[in-house]
Amino acid sequence: MKIAIIYSNQLIATQLGVLLKEFKPILLSSDDDKKIKDITLEIIITDKKVIITNRLANFSHYYDIPFAEGRILQDVREQQILCDEIDDLRTSNKILQVEVNQKRQIEEHTFNALKNAVLVQKGLMPNSSYNNDNISLYANVIPAEMLAGDFYFYQPITDNKIFFVIGDVSDKNIDASIYMTRMITSIKSLIQKNKNYDDYIEILANELNEIGKQDNKEKFQYCTMFLGEININKNELTYINAGHDEPYILTENSQGKITPKMILKDDFDENYGPIGAFLGTYKSRIISLPKKYKLYLYTDGVTEAANANGHTLDLDRYGEKRLEKMISKCRFTISSENICKAIEKDILSFKQGAIQNDDITQICISTLKNIKVKEENNESS
């Protein structure tokens, strides 16, 4: 604490300086008081008063002359304690501000890194929409957080064949997104290398399983996955269901709306576990498809979407029955995208503002040949 005694009466100033000698005050005439700017305690002596001003705390005490030396000495000592406390507080505030600024910089850096990671994730997956003369596909991921553990991928093999996969990584954190990235980059590499083999789906599933198990050495994770290929010419679906939710085959009923039928797991594939956790060997299955159909796939973020009551009752979850009811309201001729959008809208309505706690991913594939045949028949009739 720096004390300045500013005086017009030098005798009283000298007397006060002796009284306060432990504080080593600076004596200044009233003409010199502006020379020192960093004064903490300013004592101004006039002909009638002693004015003690604490510049840090911004208040003053007044004493009449003649003054009680004991009171002034006690006052200055109290002001010293107060000034020390203010200095400590200012120092703490400066340290705190530095820490806040550092934390803000770290948060900004982390946020920017996450934004870049989101862009990388999105870049790994193909466009939401794909169309050729025979196939129309729509896929979308709605992450629960910035980074997703769900993913989709598709690749045309020929004009009449398309490969597709939908996956859901266990957990919902940065580790899940890293595992997801590992899976999808492996799929892209493996499909290019093996797509000309008749059993390429089996090769993919089993190699992905080995990759997943290798990644599990430090932390156990797995990925439910449905891998498939639609062959338009043969009306066949070749697939492997690695512990994933059963997809739906959508057909047209007599009212022109959709009848959903689940591709149920049977003795052939009911024991197939998720990628990264399955100890056996995956074998593909081939089923015949109807003449007119769509294929709808989803992750459990759809059926397990919760309303404001949470997961206490089945009624509090969106569920398969509500999903099937929503699909059944759609006309068969609407696009794959519009089917997915209608389901998204219904989930949003069901949630009633509840926080999304899981990624929501959908794929819908329409075969355009059959729709075109229907349109031609309508025109001819």
Does 65 have pLDDT greater than 60?
yes
366 Cα distance to chain centroid: 31
Peptide bond into 260 cis (omega under 30): no
Q: Which domains does the chain have, with CATH numbers?
A: 3-90 (3.40.50.800), 125-380 (3.60.40.10)
pLDDT for position 56: 73
Distance set, CA 232 to CA 131, 162, 168, 264, 370 (Å) = 14, 9, 27, 21, 10
Does 378 have pLDDT greater than 70?
no
pLDDT single digits (tens) 286-305: 999 998 899 999 999 999 99
Does 53 have pLDDT greater than 90?
no
Other beta carbons within 10 angstroms of residue 148's beta carbon come to 26
Residue with tokens 């957990």: 171
Q: Which helix (H) or strand (E) holds 376?
A: helix 368-380
pLDDT for position 310: 61
Residues 125-147 as b or e (16 or more Cβ within 10 Å = b)? beeeebeeebbbbbbbbbbbbeb
pLDDT for position 37: 67
Which two structure tokens, joined as six digits, stand for 136? 């129309």
As a whole number, the mean pLDDT across the chain is 83
User: Which band of pLDDT confidence, cut at 50, 70 and 90, is reported for residue 141?
Assistant: very high
Higher per-residue pLDDT: 141 or 312? 141
Does 87 have pLDDT greater than 70?
yes
Higher per-residue pLDDT: 77 or 356? 356
Does 129 have pLDDT greater than 90?
yes
pLDDT for position 270: 62
Does 373 have pLDDT greater than 50?
no
User: Pairing state of beta strands 3-7 and 41-45?
Assistant: parallel
**One-letter amino acid for residue 119 of the chain:** L
Q: Which helix (H) or strand (E) holds 63?
A: strand 59-64
pLDDT single digits (tens) 213-261: 887 767 788 999 999 999 999 999 999 999 999 999 999 988 888 888 8
pLDDT for position 159: 86
pLDDT for position 363: 97
Does 342 have pLDDT greater than 90?
yes
As a whole number of angstroms, the distance between CA 223 and CA 275 comes to 5
Higher per-residue pLDDT: 268 or 326? 326
Q: Which helix (H) or strand (E) holds 325?
A: helix 319-329
CB 299 within 8 A of CB 326: no
Nearest alpha-carbon partner for 344 in 121, 139, 119: 139
pLDDT for position 115: 66
Single pTM value for the model: 0.70
The whole-number average pLDDT for the span 2-18 is 74
Does 268 have pLDDT greater than 80?
no
Other beta carbons within 10 angstroms of residue 322's beta carbon come to 18
Least trusted range by pLDDT, from 42-51, 105-114, 181-190, 341-350:
105-114
User: Which band of pLDDT confidence, cut at 50, 70 and 90, is reported for residue 381?
Assistant: very low
The percentage of residues in the chain with a pLDDT greater than 90, rounded to a whole number, is 37
